Amino acid sequence: MTATASAPDVLTARALLLDMDGTLVNSDAVVERVWRRWALRHGLDPQEALKVVHGRQGYATMALLLPDRPMERNVAENLELLAEETADLDGVVPIPGAPAFLAAIAALPHALVTSADAALARARMGAAGLRMPDTRVTAECVSASKPDPEGFLKGAVELGFAPEDCVVFEDSEAGIAAGRAAGMRVVGVGPRAAAFAPDVHVPDLTHLRVEAGADGAVRLHVAP
């Protein structure tokens, strides 16, 4: 579905599962700085690295780019990159509409499902001036990175809803694939998402209006 000029689409759900980077927070400047340095240290083309970095945990990105390297090394080096990213908050800002969107869903079932660890999630949400959801699934909570659906499935369980009752908000190929693999509908947010056929695509969160139904349903009105 896509929004039309004559009538907005409406998605109905009972719970919302929100990615962070690229969906609520624009952290592209930091991600590109850190991963460009990493790629150059390893003799890789930074542009090729940036094609696969979004949405995945760092160790999973490294495994794609350095397939012959032991996973233990990727996991260890990912901890170093997480520390770098947590310390670098220059240019971290909210996605347009994110503060109002989070305010609108404050009393509704929702969770943050991010490939960041807890420290990085707190740092970036804080730098962007955004409220941290009470229910969070961060990197420490899962055994597999997106595009594996584990994080979204765990978010649904923690909120107490079936996958088909959840709508995922994502910006990346890996995240959209994870939401789809979890059996959930996906709202793609931002320019990256448009290429990966989400159920609905919006340029940013200003294009969404949230309506809470008396029956417990959450209606997402998607405007052009």
Query: Whole-angstrom Cα distance, residue 56 to residue 83?
Result: 16
Query: Whole-angstrom Cα distance, residue 172 to residue 190?
Result: 9
SS3 per residue for the chain: CCCCCCCCEEEEECEEEECCECCCEECHHHHHHHHHHHHHHCCCCHHHHHHHHCCCCHHHHHHHHCCCCCHHHHHHHHHHHHHHHHHCCCCCEECCCHHHHHHHCCCCCEEEECCCCHHHHHHHHHHCCCCCCCCEECHHHCCCCCCCCHHHHHHHHHHCCCHHHEEEEECCHHHHHHHHHCCCEEEEECCCHHHHCCCEEECCHHHEEEEECCCCCEEEEECC
* Residue-wise pLDDT tens digits, 158-202: 999 999 999 999 999 999 999 999 999 999 999 999 999 999 999
Question: Hey, CA dihedral for 199, 205, 209, 215, is it positive or negative?
Answer: positive
Report the pLDDT value the prediction gives residue 2, as an integer from 0 to 100. 41
> Is 134 noted as a catalytic residue in this protein?
no
> Is 9 noted as a catalytic residue in this protein?
no
Give the number of C-alpha atoms closer than 13 A to the C-alpha of residue 189, restricted to the C-beta side: 28
Confidence of residue 144 (pLDDT cuts 50, 70, 90): very high
Residue 32 has pLDDT above 50, yes or no: yes
- Mean pLDDT of all residues in 76-87: 95
Catalytic: which of 9, 21, 28, 199? 21
* Residue-wise pLDDT tens digits, 119-129: 999 999 999 99
Query: Whole-angstrom Cα distance, residue 25 to residue 39?
Result: 23
Residue 5 has pLDDT above 50, yes or no: no
- The answer to whether 139 and 115 have CB atoms below 8 angstroms apart is yes
Torsion of CA 85, 127, 113, 206, to 10 degrees: -130
Residue 76 has pLDDT above 70, yes or no: yes
